[in-house]
Each structure stands twice: as structure tokens, then as C-alpha cells.
Chains A and B, each alone.
Chain A
Amino acid sequence: MAALAFPRHIHTAPKPSFFNNKPKTKLRTRISVQSSLTPPQLGFSDPFVLELAEALEDSLPSPSSSKLSPLEKIRDVSSETLLSTPWPSRKDEPFRFTDTSFIKNSKICPVSRPPPQSLEAPLASPEDTQLLHLAIVDGHIVDSSSNMSGLPDGVYVGSLSNATSESLVKRVGEFVCGFDWGDLFWSINGVGAPDLAVVYVPAGCRVENAVHLRYYSVEASDVGSNKLPVSNPRVFVVVEKGGEVDIVEEFMGGDPNRCYWANPVLEVVVGEGGKVRHSYVQNQSPCAAHIKWTSVRQDAESSYQLVEVSSGGKLSRHNLHVQQLGPDTVTELSTLHLAFNEQTQDLHSRLVLDYPRGSSRQLHKCIVANSQGQAVFDGNVKVNRYAQQTDAGQLTRSLLLEPRATVNVKPNLQIIADDVKCSHGAAISDLEESQLFYFQARGIDLKTARKALVFSFGAEVVSQLPDASVQKKVENQIRELLDPQ
């Protein structure tokens, strides 16, 4: 029943269930066969993509074991789709407003060096290291910089390759290739991911402390060098029936003159009645490209909450896909995009409802405070035939603070079921004059008033970050953006 709608750019039909995981029989040599630059049989392989795929393939060590690990399975499937996917152009609807030529025109080189086994001090502040956190450097998991003490029994956070439990590896293997909605960047990650980080929460287990995933891009080039090292971090979160966990993803930029391309993928599977609260903070270098995929599958009565604050990157895109696998799910998405520099902030979200009584709330806010800045939002909610009594709400609000600042918003609901409650709205504005005057009438100058109002616009999303320390950090980042030194 999930196969009610076929997206145009996907060549395989969505599978009805994510438990469909028959082992593929493809050989790992597929890539090297195709990368010999002979025209591929299907006739529409993009030479640029082929070259990139080959480079990614070469950057990774060849598989050691004969048994197909989940990561290798991902690589296989991804290389297959990669070959039939050209680099997106502005003519493709999903990229109509998002120009990826900045990446394409750079000399992309896969990160080759394995990262240092311990990170330099400035990457993590001392109080942060106390937290439950996993450091992911250029896509590699760095155990020495991580702190995983005090996890409940049965919970695993770390590289899949270090996991000792057979059943865990097997369980993850059941899920890894059950997502068919990805695009080119999803496949690039699948081919290039050097490691697979796993967060596993067994049935009925509630993880008290948030699991922090810290992503660093260590390999970078200088501005003007036109080189763009790409890294492909990949994380898989499995929460079994009744389990609960908070995931905090933080992407750190560091030096503002560093150029790199982070191409991360996060997959989340929430079992029946499970709860995942996901915070995602993107603060990459203003010269970086950041293309992220988040794919969530929600079983019956599960709940998934996302709070995102993205402010970094020259080109930043978040592809978010939430798929319902059973009835009575709760989905809450709150996102804040800030374009204070010459940059693009893009959110492409899709929520697919196939079962009854799902409830979803989506709030997307963006602030564009640069005349060369741009925000893009395409928010799709599909309420398919069996998704009766769905309650879906979607609201997007944008603040344009400079002349020629641009926002392209496309909230859209596709409803096939006939007994649903759905709403959507979009508002684009400058700050309210009446509010500004209220500040002035109390002796507060216009500049301070504007800052306070911009800050408060974002506060609606920021205040939903469950972790107080993360919230504080994000507030400080926004204050810095408002008041650059």
C-alpha cells in the first residue's frame, strides 16, 4: 500500500515494507566495471558522477571479510543507483531553486587520510567532553575522542565494525537498504561512507541522557584553492519497540576560511511505540557545502520529533524524509534556517502517511538577512488513501531583512484520503512595524529592537531544543550572527 505514489526521479518502486531485505546478489566489482569510462549500457550515466564514484571507491580500503557487512550492502546498492543518476541541474524540480554548481565546479576529492586518533583540544570544549558523545571525523568514528560511559545495558553507540553482538549487526543489516527515496547525494554517501555509526536502543529501553553526535570536517582546503574534500558520515539509529532516545547532531565548522563538503546521512528507524527526539544543529564554515539526508521510518504509535537550527555553510541542504510504517504515529518537525551570509539554506522535507490516525506538525522558519542570501523550502506531505483521520499541519514563516534577500517556499499537501484534517500556511514578511515602534516607545533604539525581534522569531524553534546546553549554545550562535564582532 505504500506504492500509491511514485516520485518521478526514482527508478525503483517503493517497497511496501522495510522488512523487505532479501540479500542482493550483486557483485562488488560493479563500480570498477562501470568506471572504465565506457558509455554505460543504460545510456544516461553522467561522466562527472562516474568519475566521482570512481574516486570515492578508490578512497576506501577494499573489503576485508568475505561476508557482506551492512556497510558493504549499502555501498553495493548505492553504486547501482549512482550510475543511473545524473548530477542535478536547475531543470530538475527538486533542485529548481538550489544551485549545486558550487560543488560541481570545484575539484572534488574524497577525504583520504584516516583522521588522527585524538582530536585537537579546540574541537570540543572541556565541559562538552563530559557528555555522552560520539566524535565523527571526516566520516570516521574516533573512539578516543568519544565518551560512551554509562549507557544502559544493551544500548550500543559506536562503529558497526566494532560491535561485538552478532544479532545487532544482523538487525541493522535488516534495515540498511530499505529506503528508496534518495537522490544522487544519498547515493554518493552510500558509496563513499567509510564507516557506519550505529545507535541501537533495545526494546523497552529508555536512554536517559542524550546521545551527542559530533561531526567534524578536519580535511579542508583554503579559500580560492577550488579544492573540495568530501566526507560521507553515515549514522544508523535503531530504536526497538518501546525504546526512547534523544539524538543530538552537531556539525562544527571551526575556521571560517576552510572549504569542504560534508555529505552526511542519518537513518532512523523507530519501532512500535518508540520515541526519538532529534536535535540537529548545523554550524558549518561559511565556505562549506553541506548536503544532509535524514530518513526516518516510524512504526505504529511511535513518535519522532525533530528540531533543526541551520546557519552555516555556503550551500546547505537538508533532505528530510519521514515515512509512516503503521498507524497512530506522531511527527513534529520544527526547523529554523538562517541565511546571514551569502549562502543558500534549503529544506526539502517529505512526510509520507499511509496509515490511519497519524498526527504531524511542521513548523519551518527562515530568516534571510543578506541581499545575496537565499532560503528554499519544499515541504511535501502526502496523505495517501489509507491514511484516514490524519491530522497534519504545516506552517512556514520567513523573514526577509534585506533588499533582494530571497526565499522560495513551496509548502504542499497531497491528500488522497477523504477523512483528514490538514492545514498549511506560508507567510513572508519584514519585521512588524508596530512591534518595532513598541520597543522604541519604551526607549529602545531601532537596531536593538530589530535584533530582539529577529532573535524572538527564531526563539519559537530554538526553545524547543530539548537539551538546555544545546539550546544555550545555539542562542549564542544566533546572537553572534546578529551582532558580528
Chain B
Amino acid sequence: MASAPSLSTAQPPTAVSLRNRCTLPPLPSHRIRPSSSSSSLSSRLPTLRSVPIVSRCAVRAALSTVDRSATPVESGDKKLLLEVKDLTAVVAETGQEILKSVNLAIYEGEVHAVMGKNGSGKSTFAKVLVGHPDYEVTGGSMMYRGENLLDMEPEERSLAGLFMSFQSPVEIPGVSNADFLNMAYNARRRKLNQPELSPIEFWAYVYPKLDLLNMKADFLNRNVNEGFSGGERKRNEILQLAVLGAELSILDEIDSGLDVDALRDVAKAVNGFLTPKNSVLMITHYLRLLEFIEPSYIHVMENGKIVKTGDISIAKTLEKEGFKAISEM
């Protein structure tokens, strides 16, 4: 069903009943964003998915501040990219349950942000999506463009268009950044039945991408993440995203350890990839990042579940009053 999703079939039945219960009036034209982004924002689907019933009305209310009157809602035309249902996962080694029924749906062109306390399961969720071996999925489903992610190896998920930027990427001594990127890029070219690029051809392809992130060329000659500062590691992750491309970028705390300038560079690069087809799932603790990359939705995760979904105002409440305020809402 998810391979050709329309709004009516893609949504769980509960959403329908919810809609009946709290019918929303057309939203007032109250802009909370610069006009330049309002059209893309307004085209994003503001419907409620994968949120526990109790919180849905509140979320709906929060969303009402978003300007949707500029263009009619086009949610029906958009394709469902990722649909996560009742996902549960444990730490493979200890069996400790981290994810306790996560529900989320991401459509093409949407930017989602997941916030939450330390240990709430945000990063685990990101890692489970890309198949990290430290975690084991014990229940639920993860469908990506109608394909079951659980049946796919990590590299297949990557080639299918999923990209996760690591919170703390590992060092790989002895493998240069250029070789690593070339290998990864050629794996993509093979998948698309395109000829692989030689190191020299690849250099020509990758070189302009460095500018995008204000990176020096010698970056490519250094070994992957070896001796990189925190900021360099984050930039390197985004460089990989720029080189490889992705339909769904999962950015795990891409803002932690970055100074304002670096954050601006990284955000600029991420915004550069945003198209009506590409989606982003960001994990962050801070409002700051969300001011650079504007999310369509903000999800609050707590104890392995998404407990609240809303717009930027959630992040603002969080920033001011902490997670306690959200829990009490």
C-alpha cells in the first residue's frame, strides 16, 4: 500500500477518526517564517501521522500557527518516503529496550526534527533506520518507498537513498578521504549502471563540493576523520552527503560541537540539498539549528516514543522551559 500512497490509504485509521473529532478551521495567515520559505513550507503536509491520539489535538493546534493559506494543501500528491510503525528495538548486546513503539511518517520534501532528552532514544532511532549492528529490531516495521528496510543490508539502505550523518564518526586510519568518497560514490554509480569514476575524474567532481562547506583541498588527502576536530568531522559528514546525495538525510546532532560559523556552513549546505523531493530528519537538542534549517515538523521523543509532534513553537517552548514543559502540555 505504501508504494503508491495517497493520503487516505497511507494514514492509519486512527488518524481519520481523529480528524473527525477535532476538525480544523482554515488556518489564519499568520506567518512565522520568512516569505521566501513560506511556499515550500505551505506545500508540506500538515496532517497528523504516527502520533498518539491524546496529543494529536494539541499538535493540530500548534500547527495552526503555520501559514497554509498561500497554496492549497497538496498532501495527496506527495509520496510517502518513510513510514515507521510501532518500531521497537533493543541493544543487541544487553537486550535493553531503547525504542518502545516509534511511529513516524516522512513525505517527500519534508523536514522533520526530533528533539528529546539525553537517552530518550533519538540517536538509536537514527541508527536503527540505517541498520546499525549495535541494535536489534524486535517489532514493528520500517518501510522506505514501499520497501521493507529490515530486509536490507546497511549498504543497500544507503544505496536506496538513506544517509545518516554520524554523531561521532569513527576514524579510519590509512584510508584517505578521497579514496573513501570515491569508493562510496562508485558504489552508487554501479547501482545506477553508470561507469565508475577514476580518482582523477572523481577529484574533478568532488572539488567544487569542498567550497560549499568552506573546506580546504588537503582535507581530501587526510585519512577519514583521523585527527579531525569536532567541527571538521561534522563538515566531513555533510561533505559526504554533498558527494553522495540522499533522498532522506538523517542528521544526528549535526550541530553539536559546532561554532556559529561552522553551523552556518553546514546548514547552508544542507539547505542546498533540499528539493521538493528530498527530505531531512534532524536530531538536535537546540533551537539554534532549527533557525537555520527550518523544519516542517518537530517531534519530541521521550522514553523510546514520540510523545508530541508540532511545529517550531515546540522547540521554542523547549528552549525556554525545558522538556518538563512539554511533558506537562
Evaluate contact between A441 and B175: CB separation under 8 angstroms.
Answer: no
Evaluate contact between A443 and B172: CB separation under 8 angstroms.
Answer: no
| Residues of B participating in the A interface, judged by any CB pair closer than 8 Å | 130-133, 153-155, 158-159, 164, 166, 169-170, 172-175, 179-180, 183-184, 187-188, 191, 223-224, 240, 244
Q: With A and B bound together, what is the CA distance between A412 and B16 in angstroms? A: 73
Q: A441-B164, A442-B158, A443-B159 are in contact. Are A435 and B133 (CB under 8 A)?
A: no
CB distance from B178 to the nearest CB of A (A): 13
| Residues of A participating in the B interface, judged by any CB pair closer than 8 Å | 432-435, 437-446, 448, 452-453, 455-460
Q: With A and B bound together, what is the CA distance between A437 and B133 in angstroms? A: 8
Q: With A and B bound together, what is the CA distance between A448 and B132 in angstroms? A: 18
Q: A440-B158, A442-B184, A444-B184 are in contact. Are A453 and B244 (CB under 8 A)?
A: no
Evaluate contact between B175 and A452: CB separation under 8 angstroms.
Answer: yes
Q: A434-B170, A452-B183 are in contact. Are A443 and B175 (CB under 8 A)?
A: no
Give chain A residues whose Cβ lies under 8 Å from the Cβ of B158: 440-443
Evaluate contact between A455 and B174: CB separation under 8 angstroms.
Answer: yes
CB distance from A468 to the nearest CB of B (A): 16
Give chain B residues whose Cβ lies under 8 Å from the Cβ of A442: 155, 158, 180, 184, 187, 240, 244
Q: With A and B bound together, what is the CA distance between A455 and B155 in angstroms? A: 20
Q: A443-B191, A444-B155, A448-B183 are in contact. Are A453 and B175 (CB under 8 A)?
A: yes
CB distance from A72 to the nearest CB of B (A): 48
Give chain A residues whose Cβ lies under 8 Å from the Cβ of B187: 442-445, 448
Residue in B153, B174, B188 whose beta carbon sits within 8 Å of that of A457 in the complex: B174
Q: With A and B bound together, what is the CA distance between A100 and B166 in angstroms? A: 50
Q: With A and B bound together, what is the CA distance between A435 and B240 in angstroms? A: 16
- A-B contacts, 22 of them at CB < 8 A, read A437-B154, A438-B172, A438-B224, A439-B155, A439-B183, A440-B155, A441-B130, A441-B155, A441-B166, A442-B180, A442-B184, A443-B187, A443-B188, A443-B244, A444-B183, A444-B184, A444-B187, A448-B187, A453-B172, A455-B174, A457-B174, A460-B173
Give chain B residues whose Cβ lies under 8 Å from the Cβ of A460: 173-174
Give chain B residues whose Cβ lies under 8 Å from the Cβ of A452: 175, 179-180, 183
Give chain A residues whose Cβ lies under 8 Å from the Cβ of B172: 435, 438, 453, 456
Q: With A and B bound together, what is the CA distance between A459 and B184 in angstroms? A: 20
Q: With A and B bound together, what is the CA distance between A460 and B173 in angstroms? A: 8
Q: Which label, helix, strand, loop or mixed, suits the secondary structure of the A interface?
A: helix
Give chain A residues whose Cβ lies under 8 Å from the Cβ of B188: 443
Q: With A and B bound together, what is the CA distance between A260 and B179 in angstroms? A: 39
Q: A438-B166, A440-B158 are in contact. Are A456 and B175 (CB under 8 A)?
A: yes
Give chain B residues whose Cβ lies under 8 Å from the Cβ of A446: 153, 155
Residue in A432, A455, A457 whose beta carbon sits within 8 Å of that of B170 in the complex: A432
Evaluate contact between B159 and A438: CB separation under 8 angstroms.
Answer: no
Cβ-closest chain B residue relative to A445: B155
Closest 10 CB pairs of A and B: A456-B174, A443-B158, A440-B154, A442-B184, A459-B174, A443-B187, A440-B155, A443-B159, A456-B175, A434-B170
Q: With A and B bound together, what is the CA distance between A66 and B133 in angstroms? A: 75
Q: With A and B bound together, what is the CA distance between A437 and B191 in angstroms? A: 19
Q: With A and B bound together, what is the CA distance between A443 and B130 in angstroms? A: 11
Give chain A residues whose Cβ lies under 8 Å from the Cβ of B224: 438
Indicate the member of A438, A448, A455 with the most B CB atoms within 10 Å: A438
Give chain A residues whose Cβ lies under 8 Å from the Cβ of B191: 443
Q: With A and B bound together, what is the CA distance between A441 and B187 in angstroms? A: 12
Residue in B155, B169, B174, B223 whose beta carbon sits within 8 Å of that of A443 in the complex: B155
Q: With A and B bound together, what is the CA distance between A381 and B184 in angstroms? A: 43
Give chain B residues whose Cβ lies under 8 Å from the Cβ of A434: 170
Q: With A and B bound together, what is the CA distance between A458 and B172 in angstroms? A: 13
Give chain B residues whose Cβ lies under 8 Å from the Cβ of A433: 133
Q: With A and B bound together, what is the CA distance between A458 and B173 in angstroms? A: 10
